[in-house]
């Protein structure tokens, strides 16, 4: 018996859509794609990181330019550059008489020139920097004193007395001012006023005193608050830098120590030099350190700079002939 289908049923069957077989990635193909993506990310990531670091370096340069401009505006107003840091002994006969009862540094002195007058008003110049009256000012962190690459200093503090209540601490910074060349007998800690640089204890230098030329003399350099490049701690027991913007603060266990290295640097050791100490410089940039010169220009100097040239750049009146660097 023949099976006769209705013409309408045949037409419907012929018009019905055919199922298509779905294709998918095999496990091998998926692994290959993942590997390719990983290779591309590996190739692009260093380039992205380099671009970010270049942007951070540029921001750091802008900070140094602002600080150098602040120095010049201060000099225009007062006919001298700000002191490296201010110093005054305590009352005669007091147990704290040997300690520095001032301490405000070049950064605090030129706050009005940096449009930070409201922060300058937080300091009471008639009281020691460690006095509770100066707590808010000394703990204020200011972006102009911080290099974006310096992860050791941003939102960090230099602690001077952790036994006090509240803890005596100072907002960290990424820049220090030029004290000059040094050696074992003449240095920032032992002879704070025997400076051949531009900034020192109670310095009051006009720019006319920089006879080597403003473009040949360092003003400011970079220093983070991370580990000192050492195999062992310094003679003073330090293993990390202590860099702040507001003040040089007495050592509570050795009152005669100004701790000028909190705001100033020497050139006895080149930037990032292994085996240096807490009075040198160390920048968060690979292979170099950025400086503001006394003419207001900003320049990157390699950590391999000739030691004699580096010392020559730090003197204000050495009459050296500066070679290319």
E strand or H helix at 136, and its extent? Answer: helix 135-138
Distance of CA 166 to the CA centre of its chain: 26
pLDDT digits (tens, 9 = 90+) for 109-164: 999 999 999 999 999 999 999 999 999 999 999 999 999 999 999 999 999 999 99
Q: Residue 9 has what pLDDT?
A: 45
Q: How confident is the model at residue 25 (pLDDT cuts 50, 70, 90)?
A: low
What is the value of pTM for the model shown?
A: 0.84
Give, as one character, the DSSP assignment of residue 270.
-
Cβ neighbours, 10 Å, residue 205: 20
Q: How confident is the model at residue 197 (pLDDT cuts 50, 70, 90)?
A: very high
Q: What is the DSSP string of 55-110?
A: HHHHHHHHHHHHHHHHHHHHHHHHSSPPPSB---B--TT-TTTTSBS--BBHHHHT
Q: Residue 54 has what pLDDT?
A: 82
Cβ neighbours, 10 Å, residue 296: 16
Q: How confident is the model at residue 45 (pLDDT cuts 50, 70, 90)?
A: confident
Give, as one character, the DSSP assignment of residue 226.
S
Percent of the chain surpassing pLDDT 90: 76
Q: Is 222 helix (H, G, I), strand (E, B) or coil?
A: strand
pLDDT digits (tens, 9 = 90+) for 270-301: 999 998 899 999 999 999 999 999 999 999 99
């Amino acid at each position: 018996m023949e099976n006769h289908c209705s013409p309408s049923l045949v037409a419907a069957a012929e018009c019905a859509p055919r199922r298509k077989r779905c294709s998918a990635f095999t496990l091998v193909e998926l692994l290959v794609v993942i590997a390719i993506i990983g290779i591309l990310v590996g190739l692009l990531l260093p380039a992205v990181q380099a671009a970010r670091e270049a942007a951070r370096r540029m921001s750091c340069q802008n900070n140094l330019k602002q600080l150098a401009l602040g120095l010049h505006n201060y000099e225009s107003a007062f006919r001298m550059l700000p002191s490296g840091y201010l110093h005054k002994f305590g009352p005669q006969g007091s147990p704290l008489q040997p300690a520095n009862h001032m301490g405000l540094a070049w950064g605090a002195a030129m706050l009005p020139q940096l449009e930070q007058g409201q922060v300058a008003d937080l300091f009471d110049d008639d009281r020691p920097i460690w006095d509770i009256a100066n707590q808010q000012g000394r703990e204020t962190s200011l972006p102009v004193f911080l290099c974006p690459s310096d992860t050791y200093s941003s939102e960090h503090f230099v602690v001077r007395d952790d036994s006090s209540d509240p803890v005596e601490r100072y907002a960290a910074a990424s820049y220090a001012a030029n004290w000059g060349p040094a050696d074992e007998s003449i240095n920032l800690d032992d002879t704070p006023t025997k400076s051949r640089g531009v900034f020192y204890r109670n310095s009051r230098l006009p720019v006319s005193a920089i006879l080597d030329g403003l473009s040949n003399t360092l003003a400011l350099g970079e220093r983070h608050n991370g580990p000192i490049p050492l195999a062992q701690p310094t003679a003073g027991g330090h293993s990390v830098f202590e860099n702040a913007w507001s003040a040089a603060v007495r050592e509570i266990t050795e009152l005669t120590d100004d701790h000028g290295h909190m705001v100033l640097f020497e050139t006895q050791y080149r930037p990032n030099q292994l085996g240096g100490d807490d009075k040198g410089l160390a920048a968060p940039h690979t292979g170099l350190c950025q400086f503001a010169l006394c003419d207001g220009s900003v320049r990157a100097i390699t950590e391999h700079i000739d030691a004699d040239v580096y010392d020559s750049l730090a003197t204000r009146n050495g009459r050296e002939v500066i070679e290319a660097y």
